[in-house]
Structure 1
C-alpha cells in the first residue's frame, strides 16, 4: 500500500471513530437532558437545581467515570435523596459515559 493511500485510510478510520464518539456524546447528552437535568447541572457550567445533586462536570472528583458503568447497569439506588432509580441498557451506558467524559473539568 502506498504511503499516501495508507495515510488516507488512517484518517478515514480516525474520522469514523470521531463521528461515532460524537454520536455517543450527543445521545448521552439527550439522555442526561431528559432524565437528569431537573436535578443536576449537566453542562460545563452552572449550578445544579438541587444543591445535593452534584454537577456532572465534577463527578470525576467523586468517582472514576468508567466505574459508573456497573452502577448504571445494576440501577443506581443511591445518590441525592430525591434521585429516581435508573437502570440503563449497555448502549445507554456507553452514551452516558461518553457524555460524562466530555464535560469533566
Structure 2
C-alpha cells in the first residue's frame, strides 16, 4: 500500500472518529435536555430543578442537593415504581425507562463536587 493511500485512510478514520464523538455528545446533550424538560413539567411546581432556583414546597428538596441525601442512581427504582413520599402533596408519577435515564442524567449534571 502506498503512502498516499495510507494517508487517505488515516484521514478518513480521523474524520470518522470526530463525527462519532460529535454524535455521541449530541445524543448525551439530547438525553440531558429531555430530562430537564421532564423535571420542569413534572417536578418544578414544588422542587428547585435548576442550578440555583429554590423549592417552593418546604418538604421538597432542590434537585441539586439530592446527592447529599443518597446516590442519584437510587432514583432509578423509585422513578420506575412511582415515587411516593410521606407527604400528601407529592403526586405519584411512574416514569418510563427512557424518561428515567433522561431524568437521572439531568439531575446528575446539577450535583456539586
**TM-score of the aligned structures, taking structure 1 as reference length:** 0.90
Q: CA offsets per residue over residues 48-85 of structure 1, 9 Å max, x none?
A: 10121010111111121112111111111126542111
**Residue range with higher mean Cα deviation, 75-84 or 27-36:** 75-84
Q: Any stretches of 5+ residues in structure 2 without a counterpart?
A: 1-5
Report the counterpart of residue 3 of structure 1 in structure 2. Answer: 10
Residue 15 (str. 1) matches residue 22 (str. 2): yes
Query: What is the rounded CA distance, in whole Å, between the counterparts of 1:85 and 1:35 in structure 2?
Result: 10
TM-score (norm. length: structure 2):
0.84
CA distance 1:59–1:101, shift in 2 (3 Å): same
Specify which of 27, 30, 36 is matched with residue 34 of structure 2: 27
Q: Which residue of 2 aligns with 1:103?
A: 110
- Offset at residue 87 of structure 1 (A): 0.6
How much is the aligned-residue C-alpha RMSD, in angstroms? 1.6
Specify every segment of 5 or more residues in structure 1 that has no aligned partner in the other structure, as ranges. Answer: none
Structure with max Cα Rg:
2
Q: Aligned runs of 1:31-70 on 2, under 5 Å?
A: 31-70=38-77
